[in-house]
Amino acid sequence: MSSETVPYVQESEFDDVLTQEKVVVVDFTATWCGPCRLISPLMDQLAEAYKGRVKVVKIDVDNNKPIFKKFGLRSIPAVLIFQDGKLAETIVGVSPYEQFTAAVDKLL
């Protein structure tokens, strides 16, 4: 699977992305982060499984530090799940796929 399944967004696009779908999953990641690479295929899987119902995007924390700090994040990987533009769930660290699907299912 290519990384095109889950597009990268910039801070300037972030607010627009939150309004596009009822539920948005945001993966805060970095190219140098080993644990982030473990989460990446799970995000691709999530994007495929919930296609048309949930938007999944990534944010490179190195290029978007202000937004990373805005949510009080201190470590990555961090997956934030938004519902109707509001933060509904935060999952920090490497977590099983089921944790992500359970969080998303609660909001759908």
Active site residues: 33, 36
Is residue 25 within 8 Å of 79, Cβ to Cβ? yes
- Read off the tokens for 28: 């805060």
Peptide bond into 7 cis (omega under 30): no
Q: Which amino acid is at 79?
A: V
φ/ψ (deg, to 5) at 63: -95, -10
